[in-house]
């Protein structure tokens, strides 16, 4: 079944636990930062959309009669 002369095992991919821990911590930090940014953007959007619109009013301005005639021509 197995060859007794060939007892060497082929090297497999090894993952060092420190690198894996760092990768998991970076992923967690990424999720936390993304969540913070999304909540901040939603708060900004909520405040800008809930603000009352400015009411536009017109105020008549007294002008000379000659100036009105010049504007109509």
DSSP three-state, residue 72: helix
In a domain, 9, yes or no: no
In a domain, 34, yes or no: yes
Please tell me the total count of domains within the chain: 1
Triad 41, 44, 48: Cα angle to 5°: 140
Residue-range definition of the domain harbouring residue 34: 15-45
In a domain, 8, yes or no: no
In a domain, 38, yes or no: yes
In a domain, 10, yes or no: no
DSSP 20-66: HHHHHHHHHHHHHHHHHHHHHHHHHHHHHHHSPPPPP--------HH
DSSP three-state, residue 19: helix
In a domain, 5, yes or no: no
Question: What are the average pLDDT values for consecutive 10-residue runs of the chain, which has 73 residues?
Answer: 61 78 96 96 85 69 63 59
- What pLDDT, on a 0 to 100 scale, did the predictor assign at position 42? 93
Q: What is the DSSP letter of 51?
A: S
pTM of the model: 0.47
In a domain, 25, yes or no: yes
């Amino acid at each position: 079944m197995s060859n007794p002369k060939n007892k060497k095992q082929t090297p497999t991919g090894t993952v060092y636990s420190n690198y894996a821990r760092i990768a998991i911590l970076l992923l967690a930090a990424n999720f936390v930062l993304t969540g913070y940014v999304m909540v901040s953007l939603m708060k900004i959007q909520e405040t800008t959309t809930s603000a009352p619109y400015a009411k536009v009013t017109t105020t008549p301005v007294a002008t000379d009669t000659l100036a009105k005639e010049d504007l109509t021509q």
